[in-house]
Homo-oligomer: A and B are copies of this chain.
């Protein structure tokens, strides 16, 4: 590897690191995977630098794994085959706020909260909000979503155009600043969700939304899971334009209480939010309450001030860490199934029954308006029995989701952890994904070992 490393050290100076500290920093993960260290870390600042890095690696077949905030939950950012970790933390500028076209052009390393900070004065915002303060490049690469996807869509719907460095170092642009196009193959969507295995994203044009004039958030308590979930199903089926509708089971509520000293009654809850004109918001909330009352809603608390609202969603976004409080000192495996809305009650109740039967300790939380929920299982990877049970549980839940017409991943992606389900979910289509990969990255240098399972 030496020739490429010398080239890159010369090109990047101190922004090319082979120190243990730099390598270790990018070798960690928030999930349950063992550490995996790159041989070196490059911190590019420009597209030209990224192109030069990829070209140098291509010449010698060195793996290149992009990393944004390193918060992905399936080990996507881990350089499991070594090589170079392409760290986007210094490529985090807002390049153009095109308020009059409701879009923004950014570098990939910017975290989602910093982006919204930069947009605040414009009256516009970018709604997609994974629990972590992820980078927009990482979010595009994993096709991320969050609490607002039920209203505003996922990264799939909100990336208008990309600039990317392909596997030989070529820089391409996909899409234009226009809102729609029928000109050619949709390379934008091919790159979104490809987990850095088809190209490296160096610039994104994102669709922005107007900050809603009226906002109303509320905490809605139920006595049992079925009632809460059936309320969600009917709400979605009735076409009510929910801005957010999040489910939390009694264990998740206990986690919040333990984690942040809250006092919510430990029964299933929905956290909801409505966006619109002030009159529209009131009308929506009223319609929702009527549905919830039909399902025996036990309590309804509106978050009236901006501070209350922030506290509510901050709590929701801390779910990953709050789950940890149920069993400290071990790791989390978060499942991520997404099912058709009509099968949601069945999926959640079966998952909970299975967890009880198998002795699983964990929480259920989810973007249920999309049919997506997570079982965050706390387990000890060092205990073989616990490990086997946890993977067995996750596997059975994934099979259930597929049997119900759903997917094994609503938003976290495949990475290392879900490759074993790719065949079951995609069948013959998996071969055609491999063809795309081979065509766009013939040397296999882009994030090798991810997404596509080894050929059997």
Q: Which A residues contact B (CB, under 8 angstroms)?
A: 98-103, 142-145, 149, 153-154, 156-157, 166, 170-174, 176-187, 189-190, 192-194, 198, 209-210, 233, 236-239, 277, 279-280, 283, 336, 338-342, 370-372, 401-402, 405-414, 418, 421-422, 425-433, 435-440, 451
Contact = CB atoms under 8 A, between A and B. Distances in A.
Q: Could you say how many copies of this chain the assembly holds?
A: 2
A451 B144 CA distance: 31
A425 B183 CA distance: 8
B182 A414 contact: yes
Contacts of A153: 157
Contacts of A174: 429
Q: Is the interface of A mostly helix, strand, loop or mixed?
A: mixed
22 contacts: A98-B340, A98-B342, A174-B429, A176-B407, A177-B340, A177-B406, A178-B370, A181-B407, A181-B409, A182-B193, A182-B410, A182-B411, A182-B412, A183-B421, A184-B414, A184-B425, A185-B433, A185-B436, A186-B189, A187-B432, A280-B283, A436-B440
B142 A102 contact: no
Report which residue of A172, A180, A236 has the largest number of chain B beta carbons within 10 angstroms of its beta carbon.
A180
A101 B404 CA distance: 12
B183 A190 contact: no
A281 to B, nearest CB: 11
Contacts of A198: 185
A198 B238 CA distance: 37
Contacts of A432: 166, 170, 172, 187, 440
B436 A100 contact: no
A182 B101 CA distance: 28
A340 B96 CA distance: 14
Contact of A370 (B166, B179, B210): B179
A252 B289 CA distance: 48
A180 B338 contact: yes
B440 A179 contact: no
Contacts of A438: 439
A233 B179 CA distance: 13
Nearest to A150: B179
